[in-house]
Amino acid sequence: MNKFKSASMVIRYAMVCLAAWHVAGFTADNDGWTDLGGWMLSNNDYRIQHFSRGPLHRLVLQRSVGTGRKAVWKPVAVLNTPPLSADSRIGTNFECLLPGETGDVVAMAREGRGTDIVVHAWRIDVRKKYFQSVDPTRVRCKLDRGDG
């Protein structure tokens, strides 16, 4: 499910992954949170930055403000997910979809046969700037485990 439409989107995605902690509003010592990178949303003015501290995960919805070299990423919403079990992971909008609907979705899923078992899911509403909980049975994920 490759959603990159151009080389500039790939470069922008790489820049997201290299974002500094202060962009997400964390202190210099990171309060024990580890930056796990991030990803662009289908609306290129927004991205998700992913942080963890032990089994806890925090997803920060950020919006690009300004243009060119003066553009900065500002946090607009934060989702503290339920604890992530050892056999689960976060699925991005590149790996998960909500059939019959457009837009971005993020999910927590466990490995299953053929498709993954989604245990929690959220639609990302950039217009209202929040994460909306959705029925996890409606979300389909095929997570990339980096084994291929």
pTM value is: 0.73
Domain housing 125: 7-141
Q: Evaluate whether residue 71 is within a structural domain.
A: yes
Tokens of residue 5, six digits: 């439409």
Q: What is the mean pLDDT of the chain?
A: 78
Q: Evaluate whether residue 147 is within a structural domain.
A: no
Report the pLDDT averaged over residues 102-106.
Answer: 88
pLDDT of residue 94: 77
In this predicted structure, the answer to whether residue 38 has a pLDDT above a threshold of 70 is yes
Q: How many domains does the chain have?
A: 1
In this predicted structure, the answer to whether residue 63 has a pLDDT above a threshold of 60 is yes
| C-alpha to C-alpha distances, 50 to 13, 35, 39, 68, 96, nearest whole angstrom | 13, 6, 9, 24, 16
pLDDT single digits (tens) 3-30: 445 544 444 443 333 333 334 444 434 6
Q: What is the distance in angstroms between the CA of the first residue and the CA of the last residue of the chain?
A: 15
Of 59, 15, 14, 12, nearest to 35 (Cα)?
A: 59
Q: Evaluate whether residue 105 is within a structural domain.
A: yes
Residue type, 55: P
